[in-house]
Amino acid sequence: MKKAFEKFLLSPIYPLLLSVYPILTLFSNNIYQLSFSFLLRPFFVSVFMGIVIFWGAKLFFKTWHKSAFFAMLAILFFGFYGHIKNFLEAKEVQGASLYVLGGGLFIIFFFVFLDKKNKGKFDYPSLAAGINLIAIVLLLFPLINMARYYVTKSIAFSSTTPRFSELDNINRETLPDIYYIIPDAYARADTLKEIYDYDNSEFIAELEDAGFYIAKCGQSNYPITLLSLTSSLNIDYIPNLNEYFTPENDDILYLFATMRKNIIMEMFSTAGYETIAFASGFPWAEMRNADTFISPPSGKINEFEIVFLQATIAQVLDDINLVDYENLSAERYRERTHLVFDSLLDIAKKPGPQFIFAHILLPHPPFGFDAEGNEISPTGVEFEEGYTNQLTYFNDEILKSIATIKAESETPPIIIIQGDHGPPTGRPDWNLRILNAYYLPEHSDSLYPSISPVNTFRLILNEYFGENYALFPDKSYKLETDNNYDYTPIENSCEE
């Protein structure tokens, strides 16, 4: 074993090891948001390109060890081109792409010049052991992180909030379908007017005409999707869900597990509901454990592969306008959005009872739709324009969906349209103000202007299913640091 390892260290294998380092690192850094299948194609493409570059260098330099050294330079340059370019652009360096391209080529040709000057007599084999060792150490970081994630993910972890048992004794034939629709980053009407001078009163009035109650002082309990959905679907504040969720801990893996294994879907499933969920493009927020998970067919390329290409020398294709990566990414986003609205129409016609969880990335970027729902490239679209256009598009589509759902439902349905948080702004209170609309036939009197997501299903379970959950004081929090368990209360300044 020892001799085999020594032989491996002395071999010119390091270009192939380093060829997969960029993709493994990118995947590891985003592992909470990705499924393992996202890694497969770019991983094998990276290996293939590493082999091609190595073999091409061998044809030019003849010897394996010299070829390995120059292949390594090319692989590192090609693999990190986009990262370096983005770093320079963040520093507001003009012409960053030319600097990176010119600098990378200069380094490669400089070493070619040195090799020619030394007449090819440099001892390249002596470099192999050191570079191989460095490559192995570098690879250990993403691999250990990946292994830790998948091992921890297999551990059962869910909320400790009590599950009551009244749902076991209800009449399933008259149960209402429940639609929980989350338009991502949808702000409250007064905030839209204040920030963007956008008048949303017509949409609000149409919802009210359709029988919806609008919580005019609605705020989310937390300012980001992960915390907001975990709290609302587990009907409790984050610190109460498990003793682990304290500022002393900062690992969010258990938070993802608590969101996916949430109380609400568990309880309605126990009550005989078919649970239905949609792909959102963020695997960590997708309820793939639902009875029916609806996702568009796999496309030619996914968002992670696009991000990977943008990090490599392939970014040049965008730089010279041969490819629009932002629009390629938006295409999958548009497919998922269309699928949700189309599927809601079909779901409404199915016999129930059904619990539908639809997390829709509107009006959240990328801005792939205009106000009429036409497909556009998000490249160059300013946030205010893109956000308000997609909000208008969502309004039109959801009103059509509501009309169909109500018309096709034998038992009047429950419909909640609730932002998970507001748009990103400089003010924490703006980031918490949300659209919070309820269609609760015969039970709207139990609602109130400042009801927040943590109480949404507590109230519904009590009113419709005979449960006995106490309603919490409606509180909102802002994050103080990058730690998802470190936050401070923020008052709701809305006057009821």
The ranges assigned to domains in the chain are: 2-153, 166-490
Look up residue 142 and give its DSSP letter: H
DSSP conformational letter for 167: G
Contact criterion met (CB below 8 Å) for 275 and 269:
yes
- Can you give 356-418 as a three-state secondary structure string? EEEEECCCCCCCCECCCCCECCCCCCCHHHHHHHHHHHHHHHHHHHHHHHHHHCCCCCEEEEE
Torsion angle of alpha carbons 411, 412, 414, 417, nearest 10°?
140
Could you tell me the pTM of the whole model? 0.86
Using alpha carbons, select from 72, 76, 74 the residue that is nearest to residue 128: 72
CA proximity to 187, closest of 393, 454, 415, 436: 436
pLDDT of 166 > 60? The answer is no
Nearest residue to 453 via CA among 470, 436, 439, 465: 436
pLDDT at 163 over 70: no
User: What integer is the mean pLDDT of 158-187?
Assistant: 78
Which amino acid makes up residue 374?
N
| CA atoms of 8 and 25, how far apart (whole Å) | 23
pLDDT for 405 equals 94
In sequence order, the β-bridge partners of residue 294 are 278
Query: What is the tens place of the pLDDT at every residue in 15-74?
Result: 999 999 999 999 998 887 777 888 899 999 999 999 999 999 899 888 899 999 999 999
Rounded CA gap, 249 and 481, in Å?
13
Residue 37: CA atoms inside 13 Å, Cβ hemisphere, count? Answer: 5
- Three-state DSSP state, 294: strand
* Pairing state between β 414-418 and 436-439: antiparallel
Per-residue pLDDT averaged across 320-344, rounded?
88
Domain covering 166-490 in this structure, CATH number:
3.40.720.10
